[in-house]
Chain A
Amino acid sequence: MRKFNLGIIISIIFLVLWIVLGLFSELISSEKPLYYIEDGKSYFPIIEQESLRDYKSQKHEAVIWPPIPFSSSSMDMQNTGSKAPGVMENRIGGNFKHLLGTDHLGRDVTAGLIAGANVSLKIVFYSLLLSAVFGILIGLITGYFGDQGLKVRFPNLFLIFSLFLTLIFHSSESGIMSLSFIIWLLICFILYFLLRSIPFKLFNSKKSLPLDLLIWRILEIFDSIPKILLLIAIFAGYSPSLERVIILIALISWPGISKIVRAETLSEKNKNYIEAGKALGFKNSRLILIHILPNIIAPISVYLTFFAGSIILIESSLSFLGLGMPPDVQTWGRMLALAKNHLSSWWLVFFPGFFIFASVYSLNTLGRYLSSKIQYRKQQNLLI
C-alpha cells in the first residue's frame, strides 16, 4: 500500500486549474458579458465576436457577466495607482469587484493572471511539441547509429547537404516557391545522379559517418554559452512576438531532450529484441520507430514534464526582463517586473510569482511521481 501523497494531489489540482484558466481565458475574464438581452433579442458577444464597446455603462434587460468582468489590458480609471484586493468599480451595470486588486494603471490583477496562464500554456505546449519532435528524432538517430552505425555513400551525403544549402539560401530572400529554387533543386538532383553514375570506388563504397561525434561536439559548444545572453541578443534585434518566443525556446531546449533520448536509446539498442529484429532483416527505420520508440516513450514523457517547468521559467524570466512577448500582452513575468517598482503593494509582489512557482512546482512533482511509478514497474518486470 503506497502512502497518501499530498503533493501530487495539490499539483494535479493546480495543473487542471492552470489548463482550464489558460484554455478558457476569453470566457473567464472579459470586458464583454457572456450573455445579454437587448430589445428582446439575446446576444452572446464573446462567441459571436462582437467588437468591444462600453457594456458596463449600458442598461440591459438581463445580463450574465463572466466570473472576472475585466480583461487584462483594460484600465479602470477609478482605481489607478495599485489599489488593494477587494476594491470596487462602480458602474451602472453594477459593482465590479477587483478580486486581487489593481496595478498602477488600474488593470485588474486577476485578469492579468488569467491572460498570463493563457500565454504560458500556449508557449509551453507549442515549444514543447516542437522541441520534443526535433529532440526525439535527433536523439534516436544519434543513439541508434552511433559513430559506426550509419554508412552512407558520398553522393547521398552530397545530395542532403546541397538541398540543405539551397533551402537555407532561398528561405531568407527570394522565397521558396521561386524559379531559382526550382532550378537549383534540378541542379542538385542532376549532380547527384551524375556522381552516382561515376564508376569509381570512392563514390560507390559505403563510408561510416561519425554522426554521434559531429552532433554532440557542436551541442557541447552550444552548451557553453549562457542561454539567457543568447536570448537577449536575439530579442534585442527582433520585434517581440509569440511565434518567435516559441521557436527560440524550442531551439534552446531540444538538445536537453535529445540527450536523454540518446541515453535511453543506447541502453535499449543492445537488447535481444533489437538483435532479433536485425536477424529477421528489418530495416533500421522500422527498428527505430516501431520497436525502440514505443519502449522509451514512457521515460521520455516523464522528462518532458520537467522540461515544461523549465520552459515556464525561461519564458517568465524573459518577460521579467521586458523581452519576448509584445508589450500589450500581460504575462506572469511582466506583472512581477511591475512589482519591482511598486514594492508597497503586496498583491503585485505575491500573486504572479506564486503562479510561476506553483506551475513549476506542480510540473516537477508530477514528473517525479511518474518517474517513481515507472521505476516501480521496471523493478516488477525484472522480478518476473
Chain B
Amino acid sequence: MILPVLGIVLLLTMILGHYAGEIPPYLLEDDTKRAYSEEQIEQYKEKSGLNEPFFYISINKKGDKSFYYPQIEWNSSKNRFHRYLSNFIIGNLGYSNFYKSNVWDVIKLPILRTVIINIIVLIIVYSAGLYLGFYQVLKQKSIIGKSFNVIGQVFYAIPSFWLAILLLWLLANSQNFYLFPTNGWIWNTNQGIINAILNLSWSLVLPVICLSFGSVIYIASIFQQKMTEETKKSYFKALLSRGFSRKYILRKHVFRIALIPVVAVSTDLIPGLISGSVIIESIFNIPGMGRMAFQAFFTKDFQIIYAITLMATVLTWLNWILADYIYSKLDPRVQF
C-alpha cells in the first residue's frame, strides 16, 4: 500500500516542480550578468536527467498536426518519475545542486533535529493533555474544572506563530526578560557533552511550547469529553454505588476506554506538527526539516523538496500504522 501512495505523492510534487520550472534561477541569471552559458545549462540538464521525459506517457503538443490531435508517446521506464522512485526505494535520494552533495547527506541532520523536537512535543502533548483531561473530570465541581472549558477554548484559538512571537517578545527580549535565547537550536560541544545537552534543552523550551500548545488542549478536550460521556453510563453508577471512589473508577475503568478517540485523532497530529514546524523552525532559526524545505523552495532545489515531502509522507504513514496497532490493543474488537 505504501508504494502506490509514495508514487502518487511523488507524482503530485513532481508535477508541481515541473510547472514551477526545474532549472534553478541561480543557474539562469546572476545579479549582473548571465552566469552560465546555454551549453552549461544543457550540460546541467543532461547531468541531472532533466532531458528525459517526465512520466511514462508524454503528450507532445508541439508541431503542426498536434493542433488537432495530441501525440501521445510511451516512454517505457526511461523517465524521471520512474528513475526517482526506484532510486528512492533503494535509498538513493539524488544529488542536490545547491549544496553540491548527496541529498541524504544534506537532509539527514535536519530530519534528525525535527524528529527529536517532534518526539519531545508528542511526549509532552500526550502526558500533559491526558493529565489535564483527567484532572478536569476528577475536579468537575471545582472552579478549576468549570473554567477549564472556557480557558481551553480561548487558548485553542491562539495561532502558534503569534504565541511564538509573544513569547519571544516577553521572554527573549532585552526590554522585558532575557531568559531564553532567540535561537532555537544551540549545539556546542566545547564545554563537554552534558553542558551542550543542557544548553540545547534550554534553547528548545520556547519552540516546544509553541508546537505543543494547541495539541495539548485538543487532546485534553477530546479525552475530557469522552470521559464525561462515560461517567453518565450505568456501569459507572453501579461501581460508584458499590463504594469505589470516583478517582479509582476513572483510573481503572474509564481511562482505557477514553483513550480510544485520543488514539484515533493522533493520525491528524503528525501532519499538523510537520506543518507547524515549518513556521516555528523559521521563527526560531532551527535548522530543521521544515526550514530546509522552505529554503529549498526559494532556491528551487527540487531534489530536496521531493525527498522531504516523501519523508514527511513516510513519517505520516508510520504514525498511522502505529496508531492502528495501538487502537487494536485498546479495543480488542478491532482487528489489525
The interface of chain A, by Cβ under 8 A from chain B, is: 7, 169, 173-174, 179-180, 183, 218, 221, 223-230, 232-238, 309, 313, 316-317, 320-321, 333, 336, 339-340, 343-344, 346, 349-350, 353-354, 356-358, 360-361, 364-365, 368
Interface membership of chain B positions 149-174, coded 1 if the CB is closer than 8 angstroms to chain A and 0 otherwise: 01001101111011001101100110
B16 contacts the other chain (CB 8 A): yes
Question: B185-193, B242-250, B290-298: which lies at the A interface?
Answer: B290-298
* Total contacts A-B at CB 8 Å: 136
CB contact under 8 A between A221 and B8, given known A229-B309, A236-B297, A317-B279: yes
The minimal Cβ–Cβ distance linking B326 to chain A, given in whole angstroms, is 18
Contact B162 A336 (CB under 8 A): yes
A interface: dominant SS: helix
- Total interface residues on B, CB under 8 Å, equals 52
With A173-B61, A339-B165, A361-B154 already in contact, the answer to whether A226 and B173 are too (CB < 8 A) is no
B331 to chain A, nearest CB (A): 20
Task: Report Cα–Cα, A232/B20, bound state, in Å.
Answer: 11
The answer to whether A233 and B297 touch across the interface, beta carbons within 8 angstroms, is: yes
Q: A174-B67, A221-B8, A223-B271 are in contact. Are A364 and B157 (CB under 8 A)?
A: yes
A237 touches B309 (CB 8 A): no
Out of A236, A333, A357, name the residue touching B158 (CB < 8 Å). Answer: A357
Nearest B residue to A232 by beta-carbon distance? Answer: B297
B274–A353 CB distance below 8 A = no
Given A349-B165, A364-B153, decide whether A228 and B61 contact each other with a Cβ distance below 8 A.
no
Question: For residue B61, which residue of chain A has the nearest CB?
Answer: A173
Known contacts A169-B59, A343-B168, A7 near B153 by CB under 8 Å: yes
Taking a contact as CB atoms under 8 Å apart, the answer to whether B159 and A357 are in contact is yes
Q: Mark B16-28, 1 if CB is under 8 A from A, else 0.
A: 1101110000000
Residues of B near A218 (CB, < 8 A) are 8
Known A226-B275, A233-B16, A237-B19: A317·B159 in contact at CB below 8 Å? yes
Task: Choose from A7, A234, A350 the contact partner of B150 (Cβ within 8 Å).
Answer: A7
Distance between Cα atoms of A160 and B158 in the complex (Å) = 45
Query: Which B residues lie at the A interface, using CB under 8 A?
Result: 5, 8-9, 12-13, 16-17, 19-21, 59, 61, 67-70, 150, 153-154, 156-159, 161-162, 165-166, 168-169, 172-173, 175, 271, 274-275, 278-279, 282-283, 293-294, 297-298, 300, 305, 308-309, 312-313, 316-317, 320
Q: Are B161 and A336 in contact (CB under 8 A)?
A: yes
- The 8 Å CB contact of A361, one of B153, B271, B275, is B153
Cα distance A368–B150 in the bound complex, in angstroms: 12
Known: A317-B279, A339-B169. 7 other contacts (CB 8 A): A169-B59, A180-B68, A224-B9, A224-B316, A228-B275, A343-B165, A349-B169
The answer to whether A233 and B20 have CB atoms under 8 Å apart is yes
The answer to whether B150 and A360 touch across the interface, beta carbons within 8 angstroms, is: no
Please report the C-alpha to C-alpha distance between residue A39 and residue B311 in the assembled complex, in whole angstroms. 70
Q: Are A365 and B9 in contact (CB under 8 A)?
A: no
- Bound CA–CA A78/B166 (angstroms): 28
With A169-B59, A225-B309, A336-B165 known as contacts, the answer to whether A237 contacts B271 (CB < 8 A) is no
Shortest Cβ distance from A358 into B: residue: B157
The 8 A-B residue pairs with the shortest CB-CB distance, nearest first, are A237-B20, A353-B162, A361-B157, A236-B297, A228-B275, A226-B274, A360-B157, A224-B316
Q: A232-B293, A237-B16, A364-B153 are in contact. Are A356 and B162 (CB under 8 A)?
A: yes
Say yes or no: A238-B20 contact (C-beta < 8 A), given A221-B5, A229-B274, A353-B162: yes
